[in-house]
Amino acid sequence: MPCCGCWWNGRQRHRPPYPETAGNPRNKCALQPGHSLMDWIRLGNSGKDLTGVGGRIRPVTHTELAAHNTQKDAWLAIRGRVYNITHYLPYHPGGPEELMRGAGMDATQLFDKVHPWVNYDSLLAKCLVGPLRYDLPDAEELFDTSSPSSKSDRLREPSKAQELVRKSMENLANCITPVRKKISNKSEENAKGSPPSKIMQSLIQSSDLPVSISRRAAASPVKKADKNTETPTPMRYDWIQTSTKLTISVYTGPLANPGGCARITDGFLLIEVATNGWLRTLKITPEATLQEPLQLRVFAESGKVEVIARKVESSLWKGCGEVVLGVPKKISSPRTMECRIMRVDRVSHDTTLLSLTPKAGPVLVPLGHHVRIHEQMEGSELVRSYTPVGEGWGATDDVLSALRLAVKKYDSGAMSPLLASLKISDVVTLSGPYGNFELSKLKTVKVMYLIAAGTGITPMLGLVKFMLARSNPRCERVHLLFFNKTEQDILFNDILEDIAKEDDRFVVTNILSNAGPSWIGHTGRISKELLKNIFDKDSMKCYTKCTHYACICGPNEFTHTSLDLLKQEGMKDNCLHAFMG
């Protein structure tokens, strides 16, 4: 990400108290490998949530902004917009310390002293949290005599400029953003300062940066559908484009845990979204031709589903095309689809990770739900259940919107040897999704207990990432108890350990039933004594308002034993979920 001013990129245009660094007139620090401008652009386009709030734009108060002032959690505001700069800090050419001068505060004046013409909004587009709320002080604040500020200062209303920013940012929160103007040498912005560098101009005109956004999103939030109603709430959607891509966003509501699929058929872009037992469709006749492959992703906390399609010809459209909303239909049965094997990766000595893509287009499986693989053998059908593990778990994410299934081979099994022998381009039949896990039950959860055995780890992987990434409420702890026979049976061990090192809220405890002589961790099987030794005393007891939750997955006997033990320790049914295939 390029920047051209002293505060934003370390370039010193002003004088002390920040003197020039000897021998380096631009005062830039050396970036670590993998933290170049292009690396930042790739990170922004990777689908990773850089906002830290699930990709949902929301207002931010000054109090909340001030709380995010550390290098592990840094927000700043410029001209009424709040950005999460945590991920950008190591990419900043001027070094994290220079950028941290504005963390936890409104950094507009600091920014404007250096380079008011810089198009920061495009540079940090993927980091936008939302508008900075300019609220009048409440009565308690007005009459707080301990405050050193005068009453006149506290009674002062926002300026006209602040009020204009507030109104414009309310529009931004509703995805109503004017088309961005291209920077030219004659623009007012450039007339106030030095012209942008060549690299800045090239980035601003990059096809990967948003150029225009729809004005059609409704102002009211999505209402949660009621399972008992005969029809679901209307579906909201929006769109954004670059010169090479069109992105359609469908809003299903916070913690709605949607499923869905997308495909291009006869020139149409067809999007199907499933929530609360209802299937709703969006049929788009694009302004020009779109091409596959499509990319499908979800922001679990906000419930936003994104479909990204590439344009055949690079150009800017006046609109996304003609849109027709289908009549909602009640889902009666799971779907069956043909899928092609795109990658085969080794996870452990007996477990393979298969990356599959449906022939008809990408499919989104709700968090905590599973699919079934169907195979014919000697005149009979064999069926096995697998939970997709999501991106970033043991495979290179070079297959867009793939379903990644961890298949453990049992030598005496009827189906697992067949699946473990599959090769790239082979075709398998899948059905689904199946499951009854409700993400909304985690609405107030701050502490999560995950108890898994063997391949029962797969539904837990998505929950680990979801809980650590969510912002409202912020997760306090995720404790994973992982039971296996031997040390080499521990799946995704390196990745889990890396997450635990990066985030001290995540704790992994491995328990082996057949440990080797070098093992120094816990041993045995799940028991009341083991739970008491690992978990805090009374931490599992349920009270009037519980903020904890436990999920269990493994062989049937293991799952039922775990449920009984947790109930004996005081956990209630509404704080427990068992994943059953």
> Over its length of 581 residues, how does the chain's per-residue pLDDT go in tens digits?
444 434 344 333 333 333 333 333 344 567 788 888 778 888 888 778 898 888 778 889 888 999 999 999 999 998 888 999 999 888 887 778 888 888 999 988 877 776 666 667 777 888 999 888 865 444 444 344 444 444 334 334 444 444 444 444 444 444 333 333 333 444 444 434 445 444 444 444 444 555 555 645 443 455 555 555 566 777 789 999 999 999 999 999 899 999 999 999 999 999 999 998 899 999 999 999 999 999 999 998 889 999 999 999 999 998 899 999 998 999 888 899 999 999 999 999 999 999 999 999 999 999 999 999 999 888 888 999 999 998 877 666 567 788 999 999 998 888 999 999 999 999 999 999 999 999 999 999 999 999 999 999 999 999 999 999 888 788 999 999 999 999 999 999 999 999 999 999 999 999 999 999 999 999 999 998 898 888 876 677 787 788 999 999 999 999 999 999 999 988 999 999 999 86
Is the Cβ–Cβ distance between 324 and 275 less than 8 Å? no
Angle at 260 between CA 209 and CA 46, to 5 degrees: 30
pTM: 0.66
Here the tokens at position 180 are: 């961005």
pLDDT value at residue 284: 96
With a CB cutoff of 8 Å and minimum separation 6, the contacts of 499 are 464, 468, 506
Q: What DSSP string runs through 378-419?
A: TTEEEEEEE----TTSSS---STT-EEEEEE--TT-SSHHHH
| Sign of the four-CA dihedral 127, 496, 261, 433 | negative
- Enter the tokens of residue 161: 């400029």
Check if the beta carbon of residue 534 is closer than 8 Å to that of residue 481.
yes
Quote the radius of gyration of the chain (alpha carbons, Å): 26
Cα 100 to Cα 25: distance, rounded to the nearest angstrom: 21
Q: β-strands 335-346, 351-358: how paired?
A: antiparallel
Residues 579/437, Cβ–Cβ less than 8 Å: yes
Question: Which is nearest to 393 in space by CA: 402, 385, 384?
Answer: 402
Matching residue, tokens 């795109």? 342
SS (H, E, C) 176-232: CCCCCCCCCCCCHHHHCCCCCCHHHHHHHCCCCCCCEECCCCCCCCCCCCCCCCCCC
Ordered strands of the 380-386 beta sheet: 380-386, 370-377, 427-434, 335-346, 351-358, 403-408
For residue 268, the surrounding DSSP H or E stretch is: strand 268-275
pLDDT by residue (tens digit) across 41-90? 888 887 788 988 887 788 898 889 999 999 999 999 988 889 999 998 88
Q: How much is the pLDDT for 212?
A: 57
- Single-letter amino acid, residue 499: I
